[in-house]
Structure 1
Amino acid sequence: MDVTSFGIDHDTLLRGIYVSRKDTVENGVLTTFDIRMKEPNREMVMDTSVMHTIEHLMATFFRSHPLWAEKTIYVGPMGCRTGMYVIFKGDLESKDIAEIMKACYEYMANFNEEIPAAKSEMCGNYLDHNLAITKIECKKYVDEVLDCLNEANMTYPRQQG
């Protein structure tokens, strides 16, 4: 079975930005990024309301961005609630998206408006949001990870054997 994430050493994985996989589609490449906000099995995972709010804000940020809107394929939460997946068009590396990801997380950390599409007719679980905690989590990710991103936060640790 070839599931990339099952080969990652989650016991040593740090918070960061990782290339999860690259897929060739027709004559282009789609790059899936693992935006890891929590150290797996060592930190408390995020509440579903926070993950849901990040999903709405991150999707809004990228889909309205003048350069990244056309490159954005997907934004969504990880089932383990330790981060987000983002898929972009292009053969990209973590360093290629570090600046825009920092801008996105700063946008979310400073967001003070109504959560986009958090209405019953627009969202399947519109009551499950928490902007206050989302802002705290996003600021923490900027301060502790994105402001000091290095190779250890951008290269997956692989399982031994």
Structure 2
Amino acid sequence: MNKLLVLLGIFIFPLTVQAELSIGQERDTCFKKNKDIPSAYNCLSAKKEVSNKKLDTLISETVKRIKANNVGPFNGKDDSKETAGDVYNRRFLQAQKSWKDYRSQLCLSIATELDEDSYDYQSYIDQCQINLNKNHANEISQMGLPPN
């Protein structure tokens, strides 16, 4: 019996992960509140834009905190032309650019995997991006930077 549960868990878990990234309260709310599909899509798209702006604001605030809390010379070398904050900031921003590319590609792949009619992909992509934005905001908060 335990072996059967383990095998079921192995096969069911990947499907659950995909479904969790493409579903969420924002999508549910938009489709419940709006009687026609185009309005529901517009609602969800607006929620995605709010989520994106909220994440961008967090990234901007984090950049300020990085610079404010890392003022010494890079690698402790007095002759360094850059501060530790300059290097940290540059690497952080590059990581954010790479993460946004990852988010786009992952959500596109998840929507494709759902094997729905193509007109329905965008709502899954939007919800996936909202979910990933929330997760990424938590990751950024785990950087442990003190507030300004």
Which structure carries more relative contact order (alpha carbon 8 Å, separation 6+)? 2
- Who wins on radius of gyration, i.e. which is larger? 2
Q: TM-score, normalised by structure 2?
A: 0.29
Q: Which has the higher strand share?
A: 1
Q: TM-score, normalised by structure 1?
A: 0.27
Q: Which has the higher helix share?
A: 2
